[in-house]
Structure 1
């Protein structure tokens, strides 16, 4: 599938990373702390609340894309160690050429399947693991399962946190199955999504957080409520109610995420 990096029609300082007709992510080349996509802003709340300000972290990005969050981590937590994994060498080469990282920012990029690379990683290694992998407009099935999440937990430090960006819409069986899988692996968990997605009125991003220590829920909830496009934060009983009655997704039952409505993630 063809990939390319293109400037925004409305702001030439914003670059969009596209695969086929799907816009994967957007980057502000002038300000790495400005996250263009709403879901990345909500993912950044976990980065911001996971440790005191400016404290370096070890972060693994499964799904490199335009490295928007990696740029953000480097700018807000200088000295952080970061690795990114992407299966598309052509896309990585285009991002490096057309949207190079700022001087002094170092992110090691490995080419390969996210799950294979995770399996090869040492245990107790990262403070945060962010999973943001799409094949075109779909989340790959093998990155949504109990077995995959057990590998995530193995590679996280005991105090570490996990976040995943997936998509779902009406009758959200897919995201509920993944939420049940997260609940089977992690002691504390949360789901973040727009009210319209929660109510089954629209299709969009669903964020899942997990940890075997306490998630920083008060800070995440405060930021989610104050965003330009507020997300609901489901935690505790609300999280349980979200996936109640839906079996946890496993390697034996996993399917890719459902297709978005025509044109929703297109580049126009």
Structure 2
């Protein structure tokens, strides 16, 4: 079956959105590759001709975990959308999946619909909604996978990282479901450790993926945390991450407990907003 015609061809440029100024930039090395940034921070990369292509390394790690999950089609809830890179990937690699995205930035949604062919993604719905409110609206045991990759003005909103929100995510997940969260942090990993403490309080099993330099506090970057009530495919995920172009370590069990240390879970009464990346954190390397 042929693809539906796009409403309009993508146009490079800057566009006002709710949480700043978005920029669409064509990739000169890929015929239909586009990077979406907000206030200079890379948010998403999509190849409109090849949705299975994951350019950013942290998204590739999320994709590795998704690839290792059992079954075929999935019911997926995404909190944070951007250009919907991962929903496109899931639709391409797991046909028949049903996906819902909650994105708080309405103008950003419209930008992506108009320029980046969002309506062509099968089985995908996108709603303008605060992530916390969106999660609360979902039925118990209704998702196989929940992905939290949400930022407002370059920081992860504190209300999405708390124990109360994480418990609500666990409510939405089926008994064998998986929770994936993208965390950005820098030297000391103070915020990441508290998110780890929060998630591991709710879920029995967890693993963390990150480049060694980030784990050692040498630079700012992304950490991907996966959690579930059932055992995760640690060995396969670790193998994929170790053989990546930018290898990542995979921590679980005692190694993850050691990294967490004495960090306390985040709560609504004791929240913490994620750090803003330094000006030189991504630059051209935003396409990591």
Which category of TM-score, normalised to the shorter sequence, fits these structures? over 0.9
Tell me, in whole angstroms, the C-alpha distance in 2 between the residues paired with 1:100 and 1:215: 34
State the partner residue of 1:207.
224
Gap regions ≥5 residues in structure 2: 1-19
Answer whether contact 1:137 1:265 (CA < 8 A) is retained: no
State the partner residue of 1:43.
62
State the partner residue of 1:246.
263
Tell me, in whole angstroms, the C-alpha distance in 1 between the residues paired with 2:81 and 2:269: 27
Tell me, in whole angstroms, the C-alpha distance in 1 between the residues paired with 2:175 and 2:239: 25
Tell me, in whole angstroms, the C-alpha distance in 2 between the residues paired with 1:144 and 1:44: 21
Say if 1:196 and 1:98 are closer, same or farther in 2 by CA, change over 3 A: same
State the partner residue of 2:36.
17
Deviation of the 1:179 alpha carbon: 0.2
Deviation of the 1:50 alpha carbon: 0.9
Answer whether contact 2:167 2:202 (CA < 8 A) is retained: yes
> For 1:66-85, what aligned pairs fall within 5 Å after superposition?
66-85=83-102
Answer whether contact 1:84 1:109 (CA < 8 A) is retained: yes
Deviation of the 1:218 alpha carbon: 1.4
Deviation of the 1:79 alpha carbon: 0.5
State the partner residue of 1:124.
141
- Which structure 1 residue ranges, 4+ long, deviate > 4 Å from structure 2? none
- Matched residue count: 266
Tell me, in whole angstroms, the C-alpha distance in 2 between the residues paired with 1:13 and 1:71: 14
- Secondary structure of the structure 2 residue equivalent to 1:32: coil
> For 1:1-268, what aligned pairs fall within 5 Å after superposition?
1-52=20-71, 55-101=72-118, 103=120, 105-266=122-283
Q: Cα deviations across residues 207-251 of structure 1 (Å, max 9, x unaligned)? A: 111101111111111111111111111101011111121111111
Answer whether contact 2:91 2:121 (CA < 8 A) is retained: no
Say if 1:263 and 1:252 are closer, same or farther in 2 by CA, change over 3 A: same
Deviation of the 1:69 alpha carbon: 0.6
Tell me, in whole angstroms, the C-alpha distance in 2 between the residues paired with 1:247 and 1:29: 42
- Secondary structure of the structure 1 residue equivalent to 2:219: coil
Which 10-residue stretch deviates more, 246-255 or 106-115? Answer: 246-255
Answer whether contact 1:160 1:212 (CA < 8 A) is retained: yes
Say if 1:176 and 1:29 are closer, same or farther in 2 by CA, change over 3 A: same
Q: Cα deviations across residues 58-109 of structure 1 (Å, max 9, x unaligned)? A: 0111111111111110111100010011011111111111111374623111
What is the TM-score of this pair, normalised by structure 1? Answer: 0.95
Which 10-residue stretch deviates more, 151-160 or 211-220? Answer: 211-220
Gap regions ≥5 residues in structure 1: none
What is the TM-score of this pair, normalised by structure 2? Answer: 0.89
